Structure 1
Amino acid sequence: MATYRLNTQKLRDKAAERGDEGPEAIIRRTRINSRSVYRILGGHQQPDLNSALKIAAAYDFDLRTVMDEVPEEDIEASA
Structure 2
Amino acid sequence: MYRLRIDKLWKIAAEHGDTTRVAIHRRTGIAESSVYRILSGTSQPDLNSALRIAEAYGVRVEELMERTAPTGAESVPA
TM-score class, shorter-chain normalisation, is: 0.7 to 0.9
Note the C-alpha offset of 1:71. 1.9
Tell me the percent identity. Answer: 50
Tell me the alpha carbon deviations over residues 28-48 of structure 1, each in whole angstroms, 9 at most, x when there is no partner. Answer: 101110110000000000001
Runs (4+) off by over 3 Å: none
The match for 1:45 is 43
Aligned residues between the structures: 72
- CA RMSD, Structure 1 to Structure 2 (Å): 0.9
In structure 1, distance between residues paired with 2:28 and 2:65: 18
In structure 2, distance between residues paired with 1:21 and 1:38: 13
List alignment gaps of at least 5 residues for structure 2: 73-78
- Counterparts of residues 44-63 of structure 1 (less than 5 Å): 44-63=42-61
TM-score, scaled to structure 1: 0.86
Tell me the alpha carbon deviations over residues 27-72 of structure 1, each in whole angstroms, 9 at most, x when there is no partner. Answer: 1101110110000000000001111111011000001011111123
